[in-house]
């Protein structure tokens, strides 16, 4: 019965609208990829159908009355104003309809909330404005950034098919496994959402929320952050790639190799230009959302990073001045060690968060070197990954 | 004392010019102030909506950077709710409650004036906040921390604006509730009051209960922002979700604060143009009261994705579903009121019929959203945007329009232009539906709300909505023109321009004398 | 004048146009904007706030003065009197809801948040999650305020003051002005002692407003309560002044009753505070 509704409803609705051939109209929930999403799809159709039937009956009566009992056709008003039996009936019938809706819903809720028997756990951390995935059992973690080029957003380049729904490194999961998500956030509330999975869960700083999904069909699934989290809210998509177990194992191995390579890279010394090239990429994915690609920030909200620029937020300026990065209301290029301190530990009381935990030594070194030698900033100094390693507190 | 006596001496004379409005103690003048203020705010916040729709016309960032876009959405919400819809209903209460219960004025005429004049003060704080460093609030009208903790000066201005508006609402409600309980003309028992008065009595109760809770919540935000407290910060044992609970404990009654007076207006208009008494008066009263009571038990249905325990989710889902019953009773009663009436279709009636239909669509989408698993898919998507615009625009705002057309002849003494009124109705209704109905589809398809830019598969609907929204916006200028035209002149309305109307205000002249019901009117 | 009053009080007294509401709005706008400026670390905000406060005080004197003159002038009939009663009742109800939300925050933190954080070992491995607490991330040791010291004494003081204000009310109703005056003076004195002890308690506390959720809920609840006691004592003082001026009759004395209702209200809030903030740790 439910399946019939599911297949028939979109057809009915679509036939009501004449759509042009190229248009990409979608009228119902996305195609489900998990059992829970399928249940949600059916539930929505069921409820919608009940609502539609009631709507047609009630407004059928009303519009019949509007047509037949018009003054202009000379209908004389009768003066009744009560009918206790009728009133009792139309109070009780909806109650039973609601009970009928609540029953299957409750069953689905209980299944959604059941996180027993999961095969693997991924810790998901929402940050302004990207996601970080930590594979608890495999010991790897990485961040996942928006991959859409800035030029597409600014309408300077043609938008590609997965505009705003593409990332540099997707979450990768094996098919047929029950994956448990442990969600949290580092700054503000975010929400992790993949429509095809029927999973939407707030990621709240300081707390852990749980969710789970099991995908059987290999493929790429896309979603977005679903809780307003600041200026980058529309620009932190979620992409999950589901693949068979063997492929997943191979992916896991490649990730571990990559981590080892990164650790090795951190011990090397780099030239200024090498670091600047790496630093630009890091800056654009991590810092540009606030400080902007041109380093000018957003007036009054996010300070510029360019020497000589002005900034209107006195409170932030004071904090910058304490660290040697502002003087007489203008931004100046402060000392290298303070620069490192800000990136590693953030500026308490502002939106500048501690980024040390989320970036490798090389990334920190590269982005700081880039900031100090770009947009007309001429510090001339180079920060090496080894210097970053010395200020990192031992984990524990 | 001397001046008091002077004015009392010729009490039908009143100060003229700007003094009349600044110092007024007259419920009709204050009602007029409320209505104009809300109209102004409606146009301003509507203008923000136009800017939002301009940016969303196409994918990509065209006109505004995300920071400014978020300011627009946040301020659009805050101003529409606190600046447009709520003051408009208080304006109706000011004009109509004393007239409908045969009272000489509100119970506390001076306090009434203060309730109004706090609103411009709050509006100044809100509007000026666009100009301060960092711009206006951009954290959403729901003000969720920790995002709200991050913002600049404008966030403090918004907190204080909320305090002022809260104060205004509380004082206004105390006034209305006291007026209704204490100043009815002899013979008008509680169960014989017009339904509009009943809905406002219950609304005032909701306001007095809910607004102080909001004041508490934003006060805690303020201390978290500036005095180092940890109410909403886990590091100190606080909880961002706690804010959401407190906020929605205010916020859900607030939803009914914005719709119950609308129900009251509909229950005045539908019997008039059906030329038939309201069907099921008693059940209408009980349904209103039931909605009010239930409204305090359903708040967490706004928070199904925050990670509540299963039992809480089930409780809040069941309680929310129950609200469908009294709401359904109302719709059935209106239908039964029309049944076998002698119906005519003047502009107020057209609006009223549209509201019943469209509000019911909003009610049904609310029922869909009450279903936890479905809500998890739809939370924070355009489906929610569609839902609350169906209840707030085609529910509350269009009821306000219906009420304005209905009582404008009484207030001004002139009939409005019926042809233009019908144009306004059809333009508004059609443009509204073309703008907001496709949002259901966008939400189902997975478009999150509060984003300045969107994926390509959402482009067609968004463009259609933007075009239609501009028509919707422009039609409201027509409304402004109709109202002004009606104030400036027109066919004299007579005491009772609607033959089916029978409450006390229609026994007065149009416009009513400056001080009406100086002796208690007879009520049979 | 007598005849004019007659016609106006015939049905219900509707006051003449008044500037005070607008003055009040300007005052509150100045207070709010001054505070905003001050919060930006800009000291000039305090001048704006002072201006606002002065205007507000002027407004309160002017407005209440007018009401008192109208009342003494016999402009208020029984229906007006009843309006004031309803009005004050609903005002106190709104205050109940204000404190209710703050208590709600306390209960939510104690019953839901803190235990949950204690169970979140992944993020807060060493956190116990027991009340009283400054939270998992605030490194501060402190001692919760014990109930059976100053707070217990303060409870007695406030309960006694509730009795003295009622005793004063009996005096008023029996036209015993001496009893009325003594009762009021005693009530105000007890209120002042309460506030003094509260200040002493604050100054001896081992924690601040910033000591996690315990400090935050403690100070916001006791702080707002203290502010209400102060306001109540000021209002009692105004009533005392009016008693000396010969106002109030055994039959008509709503202002006295309103203030005493308010006083009982802050009394009840204190009892809840004593139980949930101090006692049940």
With contacts defined as CB-CB under 8 Å, which chain C residues touch B118?
A: 24-25, 28
Residue C55 Ramachandran class (φ > 0 left, ψ -120 to 50 alpha, else beta): alpha
Q: How many CB atoms are located within 10 Å of the residue C140 CB?
A: 15
Asked if A224's CB is within 8 angstroms of B451's CB, the reply is: yes
Size of interface A-C (CB pairs under 8 A): 22
List, for residues B69-119, the tens digit of each pLDDT value: 999 999 999 999 999 999 999 999 999 999 999 999 999 999 999 999 999
- C-alpha A372/C-alpha A383 separation (Å) is 10
Alpha helix ranges (H) inside chain C: 2-9, 20-39, 44-72, 78-108, 114-119, 150-173, 177-204, 212-244, 254-273
Q: Do C117 and A206 touch (CB under 8 A)?
A: yes
B164/C10 Cβ within 8 A: no
Q: Determine the Cα–Cα distance for residues B327 and B329; give it in Å rounded to an integer.
A: 5
Question: Does the active-site annotation cover B301?
Answer: yes
CA of A226 vs chain B CAs: smallest distance (Å): 6
DSSP-derived 3-state class of residue A284: helix
Other Cβ atoms closer than 10 A to B263: 30
Q: Is B28 a catalytic residue?
A: no
pLDDT of residue A6: 53
Nearest CA in chain C to A396: C125
Nearest CA in chain C to B521: C11
Plot region of C170 (φ>0 → left; ψ -120 to 50 → alpha; else → beta): alpha
Q: What angle do CA C275, C278, C280 make, to 5 degrees?
A: 60
Angle of CA points B33, B36, B38, to nearest 5° = 105
pLDDT at C6: 36
* Burial category of B124 from C-beta neighbours within 10 Å (exposed 0-12, middle 13-18, buried 19 and up): middle
Q: In the prediction, which pLDDT does B5 show?
A: 41
| pLDDT at residue C61 in the model | 96
Statement: residue B45 has pLDDT above 90: yes
A90 and B306 within 8 Å at the Cβ level: the answer is no
| Residue C173, C-beta contacts closer than 8 angstroms, at least 6 positions apart | C250
Which chain B positions have a beta carbon within 8 Å of C215's beta carbon?
A: 229-230
What residues in C contact A206, CB-CB < 8 Å? 117, 120, 123-124, 136-137
> Are A70 and B343 contacting, i.e. CB atoms less than 8 angstroms apart?
yes
Which residues in chain B have their CB less than 8 angstroms from residue C82's CB?
A: 182
Q: What is the DSSP letter of A331?
A: E
Q: Which residues of B touch A28 (CB under 8 A)?
A: 441, 444-445
> Given C32, C83, C100, which is nearest B178 (Cβ)?
C83
Contacts with C25 from chain B: Cβ below 8 Å: 114, 117-118, 120-121
Contact A75 B341 (CB under 8 A): yes
pLDDT at C131 over 50: yes
8 A C-beta contact, residue B284 and residue B278: yes
Q: In sequence order, what E strands does chain A have? A: 120-127, 130-135, 140-144, 171-174, 179-185, 190-194, 199-203, 209-213, 219-224, 237-243, 326-327, 330-331
Segment B212-257, tens digit of pLDDT: 999 999 999 999 999 999 999 999 999 999 999 999 999 999 999 9
pLDDT at A260: 84
CA atoms within 13 A on the CB side of C241: 8
* A-B contacts at Cβ under 8 angstroms: 306
Tell me the three state secondary structure of residue B12.
coil
Is B342 one of the catalytic residues?
no
pLDDT (mean) for C182-211: 96
C4 touches A: beta carbon within 8 Å: no
- Kindly provide the b/e burial profile for residues C60-89, where b requires at least 16 CB atoms within 10 angstroms of the residue's own CB: eeebeebbeebbbbebbeeebebbbbbbbe
What is the band of B6 on the pLDDT scale with cuts at 50, 70, 90?
Answer: very low
pLDDT at C193 over 50: yes
Alpha helices by DSSP H, listed for A176-322, are 245-265, 272-286, 288-291, 314-322
Exposed, middle or buried by CB within 10 Å (0-12, 13-18, 19+), for A271? Answer: exposed
| Inter-chain touch B150–A28, beta carbons under 8 Å | no
Determine the residue of chain A that is closest to B137 in CA distance: A230
Per-residue model confidence as pLDDT tens digits over C40-72 = 888 999 999 999 999 999 999 999 999 999 999
Mean pLDDT of chain C: 93
Reference A195, options B453, B56, B443, B366; nearest CA is B443
Asked if A155 and B61 count as a contact pair (C-beta separation under 8 A), the reply is yes
What ipTM, to 2 d.p.? 0.94
Question: Strands A171-174, A237-243: parallel, antiparallel or unpaired by DSSP?
Answer: parallel
Interchain CB contact of B430 with A (< 8 Å): no
| CB atoms near residue B455 (< 10 Å) | 24
Show the low-confidence residues of chain A (pLDDT under 70).
1-25, 393-396
Q: Which of B353, B331, B366 is nearest to B440 (CA)?
A: B366
Q: What is the pLDDT of residues A169-224, one digit of tens each?
A: 999 999 999 999 999 999 999 999 999 999 999 999 999 999 999 999 999 999 99
pTM for this prediction: 0.91
């Amino acid at each position: 019965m439910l399946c019939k509704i599911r297949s028939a409803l979109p057809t009915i609705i679509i036939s009501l609208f004449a759509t042009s051939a190229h248009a990409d109209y979608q009228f119902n929930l996305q195609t489900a990829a998990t059992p829970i999403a399928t249940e949600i799809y059916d539930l929505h159709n069921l409820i919608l159908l009940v609502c539609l039937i009631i709507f047609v009956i009630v407004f059928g009566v009303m519009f019949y009355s509007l047509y037949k009992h018009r003054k202009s056709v000379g209908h004389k008003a009768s003066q009744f104003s009560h009918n206790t039996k009728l009133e009792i009936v139309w109070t009780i019938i909806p109650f039973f309809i609601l009970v009928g809706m609540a029953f299957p819903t409750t069953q689905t809720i209980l299944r959604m909330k059941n996180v027993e028997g999961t095969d693997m756990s991924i810790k998901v951390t929402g940050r302004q404005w990207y996601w970080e995935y930590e594979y608890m059992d495999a010991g790897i973690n990485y961040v996942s950034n928006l991959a859409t080029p800035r030029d597409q957003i600014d309408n300077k380049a043609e938008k590609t098919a997965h505009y705003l729904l593409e990332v540099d490194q997707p979450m990768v999961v094996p098919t047929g496994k029950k994956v448990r998500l442990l969600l949290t956030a580092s700054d503000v509330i975010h929400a992790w959402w993949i429509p095809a999975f029927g999973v939407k869960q707030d990621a709240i700083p300081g707390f852990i929320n749980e969710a789970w999904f099991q995908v059987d069909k290999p493929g790429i699934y896309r979603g977005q952050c679903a809780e307003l989290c600041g200026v980058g809210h529309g620009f932190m998509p979620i992409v999950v790639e589901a693949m068979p177990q063997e492929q997943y194992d191979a992916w896991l191995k490649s990730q571990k190799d990559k981590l080892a390579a990164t650790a090795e890279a951190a011990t090397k010394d780099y030239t200024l230009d090498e670091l600047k090239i790496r630093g630009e990429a890091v800056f654009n994915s991590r810092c540009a959302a606030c400080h902007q690609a041109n380093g000018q920030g957003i007036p009054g909200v996010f300070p510029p990073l360019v020497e000589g620029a002005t900034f209107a937020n006195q409170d932030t300026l004071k904090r910058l001045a304490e660290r040697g990065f502002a003087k007489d209301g203008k931004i100046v290029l402060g000392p290298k060690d303070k620069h490192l301190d800000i990136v590693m530990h953030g500026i308490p009381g502002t939106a500048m968060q501690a980024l040390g935990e989320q970036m490798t030594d090389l990334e920190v070194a590269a982005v700081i070197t880039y900031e100090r030698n770009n947009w007309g900033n001429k510090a001339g100094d180079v920060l090496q990954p080894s210097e970053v390693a010395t200020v990192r507190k031992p984990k524990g | 004392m001397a001046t008091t006596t002077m004015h009392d001496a010729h009490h039908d004379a009143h100060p003229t010019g700007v003094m009349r409005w600044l110092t007024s103690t007259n419920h009709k003048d204050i009602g007029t102030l409320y209505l104009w203020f809300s109209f102004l705010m409606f146009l301003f916040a509507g203008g923000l909506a136009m800017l939002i729709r301009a940016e969303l016309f196409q994918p990509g960032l065209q006109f505004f950077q995300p920071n400014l876009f978020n300011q627009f959405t946040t301020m659009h919400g805050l101003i529409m709710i606190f600046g447009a819809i709520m003051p408009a209903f208080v304006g109706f209460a000011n004009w109509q409650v004393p007239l409908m219960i045969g009272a000489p004025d509100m119970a506390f005429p001076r306090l009434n004036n203060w309730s109004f004049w706090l609103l411009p003060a709050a509006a100044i704080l809100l509007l000026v906040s666009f100009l301060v460093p960092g711009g206006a609030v951009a954290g959403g009208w729901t003000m969720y921390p920790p995002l709200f903790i991050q913002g600049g000066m404008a966030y403090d201005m918004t907190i204080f604006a909320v305090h002022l508006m809260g104060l205004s609402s509380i004082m206004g409600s105390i006034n209305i509730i006291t007026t209704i309980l204490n100043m009815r003309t002899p013979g008008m028992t509680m169960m014989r009051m017009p339904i509009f008065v009943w809905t406002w009595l219950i609304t005032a109760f909701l306001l007095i209960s809910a607004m102080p809770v909001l004041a508490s919540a934003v006060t805690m935000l303020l201390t978290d922002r500036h005095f180092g407290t940890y109410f909403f910060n886990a590091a100190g044992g606080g909880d961002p979700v706690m804010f959401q609970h407190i906020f929605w404990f205010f916020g859900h009654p607030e939803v009914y604060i914005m719709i119950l007076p609308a129900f009251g207006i509909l229950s005045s208009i539908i019997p008039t143009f059906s030329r038939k008494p309201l069907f099921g008066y008693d059940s209408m009263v009980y349904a209103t009261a039931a909605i009010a009571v239930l409204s305090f038990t359903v708040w967490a249905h706004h928070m199904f994705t925050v990670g509540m325990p299963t039992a809480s989710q089930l409780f809040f889902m069941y309680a929310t579903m129950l609200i469908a019953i009294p709401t359904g009773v109302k719709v059935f009663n209106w239908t039964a009121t029309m049944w076998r009436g002698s119906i005519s279709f003047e502009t107020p009636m057209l609006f009223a019929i549209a509201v019943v239909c469209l509000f019911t669509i909003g009610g049904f989408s609310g029922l869909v959203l009450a279903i936890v698993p479905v809500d998890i898919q739809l939370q924070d998507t355009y489906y929610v945007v569609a839902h609350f615009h169906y209840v707030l625009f085609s529910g509350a705002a269009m009821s306000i329009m219906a009420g304005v057309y209905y009582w404008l002849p009484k207030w001004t003494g002139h009939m409005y232009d019926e042809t233009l009124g019908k144009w306004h109705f059809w333009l508004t209704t059609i443009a509204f539906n073309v703008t907001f109905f496709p949002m259901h589809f966008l939400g189902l398809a997975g478009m999150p709300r509060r984003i300045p830019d969107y994926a390509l598969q959402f482009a067609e609907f968004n463009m259609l909505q933007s075009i239609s929204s501009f028509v919707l916006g422009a039609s409201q200028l027509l409304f402004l023109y109709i109202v002004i035209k009606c104030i400036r002149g027109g066919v004299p309305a007579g005491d009772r321009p609607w033959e089916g109307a029978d409450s006390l205000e229609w026994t007065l002249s149009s416009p009513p004398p400056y001080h009406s019901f100086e002796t208690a009117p007879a009520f049979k | 004048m007598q005849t004019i009053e007659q016609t106006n009080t015939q049905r219900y007294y509707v006051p003449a146009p008044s500037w005070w509401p607008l003055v009040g709005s300007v005052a509150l706008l100045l207070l709010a904007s001054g505070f905003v400026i001050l919060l930006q670390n800009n000291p000039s905000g305090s001048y704006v706030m002072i201006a606002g406060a002065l205007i507000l005080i002027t407004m309160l004197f002017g407005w209440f003065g007018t009401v008192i003159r109208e009342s003494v002038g016999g402009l208020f009939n029984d229906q007006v009197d009843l309006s004031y009663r309803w009005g004050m009742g609903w005002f106190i109800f709104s205050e109940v809801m204000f404190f209710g939300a703050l208590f709600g925050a306390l209960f939510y933190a104690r019953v839901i948040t803190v235990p949950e954080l204690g169970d979140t070992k992944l993020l807060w491995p060493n956190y116990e999650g027991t009340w009283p607490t400054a939270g998992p991330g605030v490194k501060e040791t402190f001692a919760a305020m014990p109930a059976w010291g100053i707070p217990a004494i303060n409870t007695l003081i406030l309960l006694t003051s509730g009795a003295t204000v009622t005793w004063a009310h009996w005096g008023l109703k029996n036209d015993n002005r001496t009893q009325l005056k003594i009762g009021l003076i005693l009530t105000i004195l007890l209120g002042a002692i309460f506030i003094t002890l509260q200040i002493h308690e604050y100054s001896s506390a081992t924690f601040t407003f910033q000591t996690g959720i315990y400090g935050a809920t403690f100070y916001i609840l006791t702080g707002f309560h203290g502010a209400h006691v102060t306001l109540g004592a000021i209002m009692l003082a105004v009533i005392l002044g009016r008693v000396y001026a010969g106002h109030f009759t055994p039959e008509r004395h709503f202002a006295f009753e309103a203030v005493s209702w308010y006083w009982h209200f802050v009394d009840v809030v204190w009892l809840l505070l004593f139980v949930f903030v101090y006692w049940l740790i």
